[in-house]
Structure 1
Amino acid sequence: AAQCLGELYRQFGRRITSGLLETTIIAAKLMKFNEEFVRQEALLLLQNALEGSGGSAAASAYSEAFRLIMRFAIVDKSFVVRIAGARCLKAFAHIGGPCLGVGELDNSATHCVKAIEDPIASVRDAFAEALGSLLALGMNPQAQVQPKGKGPFPPAKKLEGGLQRHLALPFTRANGAKSKNMRVNLTLSWVYFLQAIRLKYFHPDSELQDYALQVMDMLRADIFVDSHALACVLYILRIGVTDQMTEPTQRSFLVFLGKQLQAVDASPFMKIAALRTLSYTLKTLGEVPSEFKEVLDSTVVAAVSHSSQLVRIEAALTLRALAEVDPTCVSGLITYGVTTLNALRENVSFEKGSSLMVELDSLHGQATVVAALIFISPKLPLGYPARLPKLVLEVSKKMLTESSRNTLAATVEKEAGWLLLSSLLASMPKEELEDQVFDILSLWATLFSGNAEHIIKQHGDLTSKI
């Protein structure tokens, strides 16, 4: 009987809105049954009735329905009933939240965040979707429905600070055994919210840039950030932001992301997120816009010399993505990289203290860029410059055999040399290096010569040498 009534509301709800209050009372009575399937069907009936009525029924019906959901449905002992309760909350958001003021929206969002800690994955998923829908409604007061009947009704207002309070803060504060589940479902809530903003409330895609900044800001406190948090943020930026943008907006988004790399207060993980999203957006566009080329040197190329090794590596991978999209730039980038490496090797022999560290960071970054470009070059439509193998091999040999007298500088130089050599050997056809094979093999001679036991006693820990 409940299923039949629910189907009637789903098909003809706007014609029978006068019965919504009585239907809600019936659902409340069914919620008192011990059998969980009866309680589940009661909420399915309520969901269909809410969606069918479309926000045009009497205010008392919606008030009673909301009370039933918040007091009983979302805290039920049965997980299937809690899922049904979450879907009812989503239905409320879908029809414009009649009778829901800012306080009710904020309260229901708070309960959704708490429910995201549920041990059952399907419950977490249902409340994540409800949370995204409720927040999207809260950000769009013009879409909030004023019900029929005698007032006064709460005025339609924007839910100020809702994203920070219900998405960003719980994400950054997540810790312990449940932290990954919490972050994953908050990530889904972000995506549901952003998709609702675009597809339901028709906000211009240019607004997505502002939300992207809020998403990346969740990585600002490095002490709370790990690879899992970074992966969640990248998912939001890809699915919720980049994939919803039109091509013109993606072009301006590249410049926007570049500017985030120049921000003084941006954390290393924020810059990594910006660089990874840059790579994805470039590949999505399939070209390098002229406006982005203008800021390339001051953004991505500058990040190659960043003090964080992770940022330097990500910047190198971004330049590799750029080379995949625009193969004509490979030769210029590699030539620039090799020239810079030679100049940095000269500088390293004179610098000391903090200046030395800056030069060594730049040297490592440039070597990583060249290695990344070498690796991708043979797979590109235009291939690789004919002089590339010998040019890079020569630089690599110098780094390995003519390194600085400074121990720290020598270690970085040799690491860079081995990085270039390994990339060359892994990617180039063997014919390119046949005449150099003995010179290449001789580079390992000093490492494997002498008595092994004596070397171990002499150096103690061989980790750095290996």
Structure 2
Amino acid sequence: MELAHSLLLNEEACNQLGEVQKAEFIFDWLRYLEKLLLATSRSDVKEKQKTLVEQLLSLLNSSPGPPTRKLLAKNLGILYGIGDTFSVYETIDKCNDLIRSKDDSPSYLPTKLAAVVCLGSLYKKLGRILSNTFTETVGNILKAMKSAESQGRYEIMLSLQNILKGLGAAATPCHRDIYKAARSCLTDRSMAVRCAAAKCLFELQNEASFMWSTDLDSVATLCFKSFEGSNYDVRISVSKLLGTVLAKAIISKHPGAAASRQSIRRVSLEEVLELLGTGFLRGSSGFLRASGDMLKGTSSVSRDVRVGITQVRITNAVMCDGNLETRLGSTDVAASQHMLVCALQELGNLIHGLGTTAAPLLQDSSAGILDSVISVILHPSISVRLTAAWCLHCIAVALPSYLTPLLDHCLERLTVLKSSPEAVTGFSFAVAALLGAVKHCPLGIPHGKGKIILTLAEDLLCSASQNSRLSAQRTQAGWLLIAALMTLGPAVVSHHLARVLLLWKCVFPVSPKDLETEKSRGDSFTWQVTLEGRAGALCAIKSFVSHCGDLLTEEVIQRLLPPLPCAVDLLTR
């Protein structure tokens, strides 16, 4: 493949290859070209630009697959961004001609898709330089979408997103046409098309004020419909779109100039919340058909709508009480768990983004956000507990003053509630997540915390065999705490290394003879706990090597190595 590493495509070498090898050769060249163009002087690029453009355009007719067409489009954008733009209009005409072609055969489809992707890349890179051609291009792309299958609609939506991104306000004449096309795609049967349409509309709302003024009700209704039968990616994309549009409706200022914008009405927070509330109450695409359904758990509305709307209403979802499953109905427990996970994820992102300005939000006793997050650590669903721990990590990173108090609280709860499987798992997740936040907090945590954490980990590991109901959870938790402790670095771990090395030694068979002996003992449960312990120990060793390299002396390495062959040998039997 060294022959592919040149500014121009080595056509002689390429033509001597078989079909599969040729496609691989071209892909490798395009991948290398992306890096080479950025490192080559402008004069050298201009010197070979004409030939390079011809070679790139010729690849449009070679039925390029998705990865190849993305690289092809990106390289064209980079090339024209560095070199001359004289021939860019010919390139755009070439792409438009390919899209206009009446050839609807499956073999020609990749060529059309590649042309669509190239147009998006060119307009994104060159922006307003191409403003006198975009009306024709957008019209051509929208016309092609009427007969396009799902893959075509997907690429067209992403291409329109790039065109809008590149042109900014200059694309105003086509805003309505793009809006109409994207509306239909937002409820497309293909989830990928819905995601792409949401991204296109999100880009459109930056300049299209009608989306958060005159058409606000329509946009909200459309987003509610998009949640029907959707997947996680669609809900994330659409909720981001809806949340941004609603926020703009509240904070937008009257322009005072521009007569065309003087009709913009500023919407109050109460009106926006009322509009959002209709997603819970209205029609077949609402959150609930009637308020009584929520209490009785008889709502037949899609769980995807509930989850999607909840992702927009982050605060209300996170601060819901512990009876969410009851209020949704026992038959929809999975939906309630998904709602909590989504809400916690969004809350973590929100607080992480706000940084120290999030302090009043957490200090508000009436909201009780922090207490709600901590209470969710005991949730029956392990995914909810894990997400709650991650949310605490975000809080600690955003507000370092909360790190030590949260760590103390979680350690205390873990000690007191170590007879509860949910508490052992949940609070060990939380402690590990908070320890992972220490490196992001300049002041760190008190030095003595390391000893407390290691003592608790040892206690969990030693008491794992005392209660079979908790053996697996305590084993997992103990090793998780030790692995997390390693992230504090050599300064902390050096004081406890002897104790940790002893734990590692005890969990593995010392010799092949010991391995053969233990194979004849135990049942499936004891083996599950044993393997859980060895997996945790190996993770802790990996964490130690990654974060405490300075402690890897010859003596330590010699003490670490003997048990490992036996552990590997067990996997091969």
Which TM-score applies when normalising by structure 1?
Answer: 0.56
* 1:419 is aligned to 2:480: yes
Q: 1:91 aligns with which of 176, 192, 197?
A: 176
Please list, as runs of the form range in 1=range in 2, the aligned pairs for 1:136-151 lying within 5 A after superposition.
Answer: 143=214
Query: Cα deviation per residue 1:255-283 (whole Å; 9 max; x = unaligned)?
Result: 53532365614711211111111111112
Cα deviation, residue 377, structure 1: 2.0
- What residue number does 1:451 align with? 514
AA at the equivalent of 1:36: R
Alpha-carbon offset, residue 330 of structure 1: 2.2
Contact persistence 1:89–1:130 (CA under 8 A) = no
Identity %: 17
Aligned-partner Cα distance in 2 for 1:342–1:290 = 30
Partners of 2:451 and 2:375 in 1: CA distance: 27
Residue 371 of structure 1 corresponds to which residue in structure 2? 432
Maintained 8 Å contact 2:185/2:197: no
SS at match of 1:408: coil
Give the number of the structure with larger relative contact order, counting CA–CA contacts within 8 Å between residues 6 or more apart. 1
Structure 2 equivalent of residue 289 of structure 1? 359
Distance in structure 2 (CA, Å) of the matches to 1:130 and 1:399: 49
Do the aligned residues in 2 keep the contact of 1:341 with 1:367 (CA within 8 Å)?
A: yes
1:149-168 equivalent positions in 2, closer than 5 A: 162-163=221-222, 166-168=225-227
Q: 2:508 & 2:378 partners in 1: Cα distance?
A: 33
The C-alpha deviation readout for 1:3-22, integer Å capped at 9, x for no partner, is: xxxxxxxxxxxxxxxxxxxx
The AA in structure 1 aligned to 2:339 is: M
1:440, CA displacement in angstroms? 1.7
Match of 2:373 among 282, 287, 300: 300
SS in 1 for 2:230: helix
**CA 1:37–1:208 in structure 2 vs 1: closer, same or farther (change >3 Å)?**
farther
How many angstroms apart in 1 are the aligned matches of 2:98 and 2:492? 77
Paired residue type of 1:442: L
What are the Cα deviations for residues 155-199 of structure 1, in whole angstroms up to 9, with x where unaligned? xx9659933763111425x9xxxxx7x778767865786577566
Cα 1:416/1:166, change in 2 over 3 Å:
same
Q: Which runs of 5+ in 2 are unaligned?
A: 1-96, 103-115, 117-131, 162-170, 253-263, 281-285, 289-296, 326-334, 532-573
* Aligned match for 1:36, one of 100, 120, 136: 100
SS in 2 for 1:335: helix
* Residues in 2 aligned to 1:167 and 1:376: alpha-carbon distance in whole angstroms: 37
Q: Report Cα offsets for 1:260-310 as digits up to 9, x if no partner.
A: 365614711211111111111112222243453321453011011111111
- Structure 1 gap segments, 5+ residues each: 1-32, 49-68, 95-104, 145-156, 175-179, 242-252, 349-358
Superposition deviation, residue 327 in structure 1: 1.8
1:116/1:125 contact within 8 Å kept: no
1:143 Cα deviation after fit: 3.0
1:216-227 equivalences in 2 (<5 Å): none
- Residue of structure 2 equivalent to 1:264: 324
Say whether the 8 Å CA contact 1:115–1:124 is kept in structure 2. Answer: no
Aligned: 1:75 with 2:146: yes
Distance of aligned partners of 1:195 and 1:326 in 2 relative to their CA distance in 1, 3 Å threshold: closer
CA contact (8 A) 1:305 1:365 kept: yes
Residue 115 to residue 43, structure 1, CA distance change in 2 (3 Å):
farther
**What is the match of residue 429 of structure 1?**
489
Matches of 1:213 and 1:274 in 2, distance apart? 19
Match of 1:441 in 2: 501
User: Once superposed, what is the RMSD of the aligned Cα atoms?
Assistant: 5.5
Per-residue deviation, 1:389: 0.7
Counterpart Cα distance in 2 of 1:212 and 1:321? 28
